[in-house]
Amino acid sequence: MNSAQIEIQLIASLVAIACAIPGTFLVLRKMALITDAISHSILPGIVIGFFITQDLSSPLLIIFAAISGVLTVVLVEFIQKTGLVKEDTAIGLVFPALFSIGVILIGQNANDIHLDIDVVLLGELAFAPFDRLLWGTTDLGPKSLWIIGSILIITLTLLLTFYKELKLSTFDIGLSAALGFSPAVMHYGLMTVASITTVGAFDAVGAILVIALMITPSASAYLLTKDLKKMLVLSIIFGVASAIIGYWIAHGLDTSISGSMTSVLGVIFFIIYLFAPEKGYFSVRYRRKQQRLEVSLLTFLVHLQNHEDDETERHVQHLNEHINWQQVRSKSVLELALKNNMIVIHNDSITLTKKGKSFTKKAIDYIVTDKDAKIEAMKDRFFLFRG
Amino acid sequence: MNITEYITLLFTDYTLRTITLGTAILGAICGMLGSFAVLRKQSLLGDAISHAALPGIAIAFLITGTKDNTLLLIGALVSGLIGAFWIRGITRNTHLKSDTALGLILSLFFGFGMLLLTYIQKQPNANQAGLEDYLFGQAATLLLNDVWLMAIVTAICLVILLLFWKELKMLLFDEEYTKTLGFNTRFLDILITTFIVVAIVMGLQTVGVVLMSAMLLAPAAAARQWTNSLGVMVILAAIFGAVSGTIGTAISASHNHLSTGPVIVLIAAVFVLVSFIFSPSRGLLFREIRFRKNRTDLELHKTLSFMFSIANAHEDIAHPHAIKILNNFQGYTKRTLQQLELKNYVTIQGNMWSLTPLGYKTAANLYNQLITTNE
């Protein structure tokens, strides 16, 4: 590993961390797509900034881009407030228009502008180490490292200072307003941080990876935990992991670093989406199946209870047609009830045991008094075997 | 180049005619299907799907090694569909919200697509050039065959839309009710999503991945402002889309360095802007005018009822009073007084005003109504 490689990985990791922090809050606030809008609509800001400064690496460019990012947010909110269209439509209308203006501006001046749209979308992380910050003759390291480093420090300071307020306004906007924290200040503060991060990051990694780095690590972390602190830490870990693994894959295949980082993020998300212990695809599927079976069991037991005196109603064969279940389903319900000692089968007719009776009685009690939530706890007490 | 020259060129030049036809048809189908996306609050689905189509194009190229348009579009269609249905899966099976799901699919698929594209660029295959055109679209590459394909797909969409018109309309406005009536909402949902994916894939070549969502949204959002009827909205959106396609092509064809896609999107954005401001029933301009008119009306009535209460205290209704006693708080301004005079409710002599019999009657009416509603 030479120093350029280390620097690239360092820049990528810092970008990942800087994106993960605002990204987590955006995902929690259901504003994930605003990053999509910002990352596209900063293009005209950059182009206009370039016309004025004639220097692609001028820090003024970042300011112009950040302004057009915030402008996007303001425009989207203005359109939304008119009530003419829904919020998502407002986002979808604003950023393509701004992006088109940027593309046209570049096209019109294609001859005297060294700004390639591909670079805007993809970034060129591989060249980042060659653009160095010089102090006199001393080499201070790559410029992007300094830019993203300072953005990260600002973001971290803001996060640590306003953690409480951010958390509060994210989860209970009404309470935070009542306690005197202006939700608008929090909102626009977060938007400004997101814009600046997007701008700073996209210089290095391109617009698309910025979106991926903001949304994917936090969405993956959100599937694993409900704790905000853990979620922040996890998303930072995922981001950094994708940066380092992605770099080496790109190195091996000789492809775009941002592309492979995004793909690694995709793999991480896919695995978590499928296998997350509580919120993952398989466990949700399994839980739903279990719940369906348990509801059936309850229906079945109540039915038995109702027909305590009627032998024919409690005949094994009869149940099938009576509750109108298919063969397999009634069989699994019957087995579950037997396993849990809720019923006994005698001469092909089913009788509730003492345990079954008290279970049914309690369940009906809860349902009638509208305390459905208590049934879950009750199930834990009665069930030895789950569906 | 002036307009007449352009129109003659339009009929004589093969390329220009093909492109104009292509963009017009594309605009029409996008407007039509976009109406459904906008009304179903799935506006950004288009954005996600168009980005998700990119890896499909790259994989189709990697497998076949040719740049046959139809094959690439089939690849795009498949990966767009996978993206669309994965979005549904994420929102259904996890607690992640739809905006997160859209952002995830959009960025992950697109990033993977870019990975494949850069990989392809390094391959020793001369054919690869031009795949990037799908990013921003290259209307100039449209061939007559592509236009035919678009026309046929549009016709099929139209027929199926008409066949399922009732059902789709009901699904849009009341999904639960549709379900209880026994319609297969899942099938209808899949049908409309598939159509949206098809429309997007058709547009990739012309407008490109990045701007495709605007083609879908803008005409529909503009049309929505002019009508409350679904049928009219779909037709209007199709017209807006077709017109922005035609005008956009014309502008970009008559200037150098103007890519067609962005110009079409900007024209469509102009349609949206104009509709937002000037639509008679919902537009911002008329809304503001109505708002002001209501406010002056209210103030006028306030002044009138104040005058009435003063006049009532005197035996002679027409007894003149000083204008000075009217104040802002009673909604008095010079203009309201002028209007009152214009309506013949008061007469003004110098610094004095007095109610006319007509004004007294109107005010009495108003006053009585106020009292009855207060009770």
**Do B122 and A91 make contact, defined as CB atoms within 8 angstroms?**
no
Indicate the Cα dihedral angle A28, A33, A39, A43, nearest 10°.
-150
Looking at A215, A234, A253, which one is the last position of a domain? A215
For residues B245 and B330, state if they share a domain.
no
Interface test with B, best of A42, A106, A208 (most B CBs within 10 A): A208
Nearest to B35 by CA among B203, B166, B208, B215: B215
Domain range holding B263?
Answer: 3-280
Residue B305 CA to residue B364 CA, distance in Å, equals 8
**Do B99 and A32 make contact, defined as CB atoms within 8 angstroms?**
yes
Return contacts of A289-294, CB within 8 angstroms, 24+ apart. A289/A387, A290/A386, A290/A387, A291/A387, A292/A387, A293/A332, A293/A333, A293/A336, A293/A387, A294/A379, A294/A386, A294/A387
| Candidate from A31, A35, A89 with C-beta closest to B43 | A89
What is the rounded end-to-end Cα distance, in angstroms, of chain B? Answer: 72
Cα B354 to chain centroid, rounded: 53
Looking at B223, B251, B280, which one is the last position of a domain? B280
Domain harbouring A159, CATH code: 1.10.3470.10
Chain A residue with Cα closest to B288: A82
Cα separation values, B174 from B58, B81, B178, Å: 39, 25, 6
For residues B183 and B276, state if they share a domain.
yes
For residues B103 and B236, state if they share a domain.
yes
Domain harbouring B311, CATH code: 1.10.10
Give me the mean pLDDT over the B137-149 stretch. 81
Residue A3 CA to residue A5 CA, distance in Å, equals 5
**Do B211 and A99 make contact, defined as CB atoms within 8 angstroms?**
yes
Q: Which residue in the block uniquely carries the two structure tokens 């199946």?
A: A289
Nearest to A62 by CA among A42, A81, A82, A76: A42
Domain harbouring B260, CATH code: 1.10.3470.10
Give me the mean pLDDT over the B275-292 stretch. 88
Portion of chain B with pLDDT greater than 70, in percent = 93
Task: For chains A and B, count residue pairs whose Cβ atoms are closer than 8 Å.
Answer: 194
For residues B99 and B181, state if they share a domain.
yes
Measured between CA atoms, how close is A211 to chain B, in angstroms? Answer: 6
**B214 chain-A contacts, CB cut-off 8 A:** 92-93, 96-97, 100
Residue A59 CA to residue A45 CA, distance in Å, equals 13
Q: What is the pLDDT of residues A42-66, one digit of tens each?
A: 888 888 888 887 766 677 777 888 8
- Least confident segment among A139-148, A220-229, B123-132: B123-132
For residues B219 and B327, state if they share a domain.
no
Domain range holding A298?
Answer: 283-382
pLDDT of residue B373: 52
Q: Residue B43, SS3?
A: coil
For residues B225 and B168, state if they share a domain.
yes
Asked if residue A226 belongs to a domain, the reply is no
Asked if residue A232 belongs to a domain, the reply is no
Asked if residue A270 belongs to a domain, the reply is no
Cα separation values, A141 from A4, A196, B173, Å: 10, 21, 59
Cα A144 to chain centroid, rounded: 27
Q: pLDDT class for B370, splitting at 50, 70, 90?
A: low
**Do A256 and B218 make contact, defined as CB atoms within 8 angstroms?**
no
Chain A residue with Cα closest to B35: A89
For residues B214 and B322, state if they share a domain.
no
Domain harbouring A337, CATH code: 1.10.10.10
Residue A259 CA to residue B116 CA, distance in Å, equals 8
Compute the Cα dihedral for B115, B117, B118, B120 and give only its sign. Answer: positive
Asked if residue A336 belongs to a domain, the reply is yes
**B117 chain-A contacts, CB cut-off 8 A:** 256, 259
For residues A173 and A290, state if they share a domain.
no
Asked if residue A51 belongs to a domain, the reply is yes
Measured between CA atoms, how close is B103 to chain A, in angstroms? Answer: 6
Which residues lie across from A352 on neighbouring strands?
A343
Chain B residue with Cα closest to A277: B94
Give me the mean pLDDT over the A236-264 stretch. 90
For residues A95 and A195, state if they share a domain.
yes
Residue A350 CA to residue A328 CA, distance in Å, equals 18
Measured between CA atoms, how close is B313 to chain A, in angstroms? Answer: 46
For residues B265 and B294, state if they share a domain.
no
Looking at B252, B280, B308, which one is the last position of a domain? B280
- Least confident segment among A125-129, A149-153, B212-216: A125-129
Measured between CA atoms, how close is B107 to chain A, in angstroms? Answer: 5
For residues A155 and A15, state if they share a domain.
yes
pLDDT at B375 over 50: no
Residue B224 CA to residue B210 CA, distance in Å, equals 24
In the structure encoding, which two tokens stand for residue B352, read together?
């004095």
Looking at B223, B247, B280, which one is the last position of a domain? B280
Asked if residue A189 belongs to a domain, the reply is yes
For residues B308 and B276, state if they share a domain.
no
**B104 chain-A contacts, CB cut-off 8 A:** 215-216, 219, 269
**B113 chain-A contacts, CB cut-off 8 A:** 259
| Candidate from B107, B276, B282 with C-beta closest to A216 | B107
Q: Residue B17, SS3?
A: helix
Residue A131 CA to residue A52 CA, distance in Å, equals 21
Asked if residue A244 belongs to a domain, the reply is no
For residues B230 and B308, state if they share a domain.
no
Global pTM reads: 0.82
**Do A89 and B217 make contact, defined as CB atoms within 8 angstroms?**
yes
pLDDT of residue B70: 80
For residues B106 and B65, state if they share a domain.
yes
In the structure encoding, which two tokens stand for residue B29, read together?
């189908």
Residue B119 CA to residue B131 CA, distance in Å, equals 12
Q: pLDDT class for B230, splitting at 50, 70, 90?
A: very high
Q: What is the pLDDT of residues A282-325, one digit of tens each?
A: 998 888 888 888 888 888 888 888 877 777 777 777 766 666 66
Helix axes A87-108, B212-224, angle to 10 degrees: 130
Measured between CA atoms, how close is A349 to chain B, in angstroms? Answer: 37
Give me the mean pLDDT over the A162-184 stretch. 87
pLDDT at B137 over 60: yes
Q: Which residue in the block uniquely carries the two structure tokens 């299907």?
A: B33
Structural domains of chain A, count: 2
**B266 chain-A contacts, CB cut-off 8 A:** 97, 100-101, 104
For residues B204 and B340, state if they share a domain.
no
Looking at A215, A242, A260, which one is the last position of a domain? A215
Residue B370 CA to residue B375 CA, distance in Å, equals 9
pLDDT at A121 over 60: yes
- Could you give phi then psi for residue A133, rounded to 5 degrees? -90, 125
In the structure encoding, which two tokens stand for residue A175, read together?
């309470």
Structural domains of chain B, count: 2
Amino acid at B370: L
Return contacts of B345-353, CB within 8 angstroms, 24+ apart. B345/B304, B346/B307, B347/B318, B348/B323, B349/B320, B351/B322, B351/B323, B351/B324, B352/B320, B352/B321, B352/B322, B352/B323, B353/B307, B353/B320, B353/B321, B353/B323, B353/B326
Q: What is the pLDDT of residues B235-266, one digit of tens each?
A: 999 999 999 999 998 888 888 777 888 899 99
Asked if residue A22 belongs to a domain, the reply is yes
Q: What is the pLDDT of residues B42-85, one digit of tens each?
A: 888 888 898 899 899 889 988 887 777 788 888 999 999 999 98
**Do B44 and A253 make contact, defined as CB atoms within 8 angstroms?**
no
Looking at A193, A215, A237, which one is the last position of a domain? A215
Residue B275 CA to residue B277 CA, distance in Å, equals 5
By the 10 Å C-beta count (0-12 exposed, 13-18 middle, 19+ buried), B241 is classed as buried
By the 10 Å C-beta count (0-12 exposed, 13-18 middle, 19+ buried), B67 is classed as middle
Residue A378 CA to residue A355 CA, distance in Å, equals 12
